[in-house]
Amino acid sequence: MSRGALAVAILVGAIACGGPQQAVSASPTTSSGPGVGIHKIQHVVVIMQENRSFDQYFGTYPGADGLPHQGGQFTVCVPDPLAGSCVRPYHDPSDRTGGGPHGSKNATADINGGKMDGFIAQAEGGKKKCVEAVDPSCTNSDKTGVMGYKDAREIPNYWSYAQHYVLQDHLFQPNASWSFPQHLYLVSEWAAKCSKVGDPMSCATNIDSPGNSIGASAGKINGDNQASRNFAWTSLTYLLYKHQISWRYYVAEGLQPDCEDAAATCAPLAQKVGTPDIWNPLPGFTDVRADGQLSNVQTIDHFYSDVKAGNLRAVSWIAPNSVVSEHPPALVSAGQTYVTTLIDTIMQSPAWSSTAIFLSWDDWGGFYDHVVPPTVDAAGFGLRVPGLVISPYSRAGFIDRQTLSQDAYVKFIEDDFLGGARLDPKTDGRPDSRPSVRENQPSVGDLQADFNFNQAPAAPLILDPHPAPGAPSSI
């Protein structure tokens, strides 16, 4: 068994066993009773995977806004400067794919003023001599591999979720940069750098190396430099705590794959529950610590024990480790196994009847996508990523074409649990210096369109975490 396969087996095995039990200090707060409309959802679970574009995973999905084609042939051909030719999308069966550079400069170059033709050039221009190939400025594959796509042969469970629930084909990463700022937006709708520790008014938008300019060290994300991981602006947890809504952020401990966007190289770094890092930012938020909520950040085994004990929180975020993240060079199959196990666990519990699962990928990872991202402010949107909405009230087989970003998750949570209160410095009681309120952007769609709250709840779709390949797509 390979090291990666062994790590997945250990992680999934620990999950299935439920892990160690821990006492819960208070009963989770959720909407009482089944409610009506959106309030039938008493649990929102956000599963965030890594570094895949929409076209790479769903570019040939029937009915989706996928790879442009005509007469059975792809009509796009992206320039390959080194070869002096161009490359069309092609089916890539590889389980381990490399991707391309995916920092903010790479996003701008990939988009190339709306031409969407810089992907191969960026892969060819990526850093070649890297200690770790997962540096976001690094190229770690066949340079034309960014044009490869998957279908049900490689990701049958993801395609099955799309067929039975909701696929979002215009979901964009909230900012045009790499993993870290995406995870900050996921919990706070902003990525910034603060000039004063703990001062939310000292923060300014930064999608390259967010954090704190005091004590920051380029290329270093670890517990040795807590000052650079002090996020003074307001997170969604502040409003959840204020409204007495339960939450947890579950972290698969192990290694984190990305380096700082500015770093030339970095060695693998540990991902730990109590250490603020790329995929686990909440321990660095001033409001989380001030509200005494740090214990809500827990290891992934607690997710399983919470679900089995009937203690699934109202709001849950789940972050992977490097092995199961799908972040190149992680195995696609390992990520699918991990995600399927998470979803199966919910579906096999009483919580399924009142749960909405939002599954997405944090950024495009350098992979080709043909849709030009809309501009809503100076930070984004970034490139298009896959999005799935899985719930007993999801519209079966629906393709959502609204313009969305992962900011819409925050809006849904606010509308469901907070009576429409917004993460807005003008109204939330904790002013910060963010220039805009993302969920108030008129261009951001409403996730309630993905649900039919009048339908009979759908039965769970239990899938094999190790599925057989599906059928090839046809264009």
Q: Show the domains of the chain with their CATH numbers.
A: 3-20+40-57+152-450 (3.40.720.10), 78-149 (no CATH)
What b/e sequence results for 181-209 when a residue is b if at least 16 CB atoms lie within 10 Å of its CB, and e otherwise? bbbbbbbbbbbbbbeeeebbebbebbbbb
Q: Which amino acid belongs to residue 473?
A: S
pLDDT tens, N- to C-terminus, the chain (475 residues) = 444 444 444 454 444 443 333 333 333 334 444 589 999 999 999 999 999 999 999 999 999 999 999 999 999 999 999 999 999 999 999 999 888 989 999 999 999 999 999 999 999 987 665 655 556 766 655 778 999 999 999 999 999 999 999 999 999 999 999 999 999 999 999 999 999 999 999 999 999 989 865 433 333 433 444 556 789 999 999 999 999 999 999 999 998 866 554 343 456 778 899 889 899 999 999 999 999 999 999 999 999 999 999 999 999 999 999 999 999 889 999 999 999 999 999 999 999 999 999 999 999 999 999 999 999 999 999 999 999 999 999 999 999 999 999 999 999 999 999 999 999 999 999 999 999 899 888 889 999 999 999 999 999 999 999 999 999 998 8
Nearest to 315 by CA among 188, 409, 395: 409
Residues 6+ apart with CB under 8 A from 304: 15, 16, 17, 18, 19, 345
Locate all alpha helices (DSSP H) within 375-461, ordered by sequence: 407-417
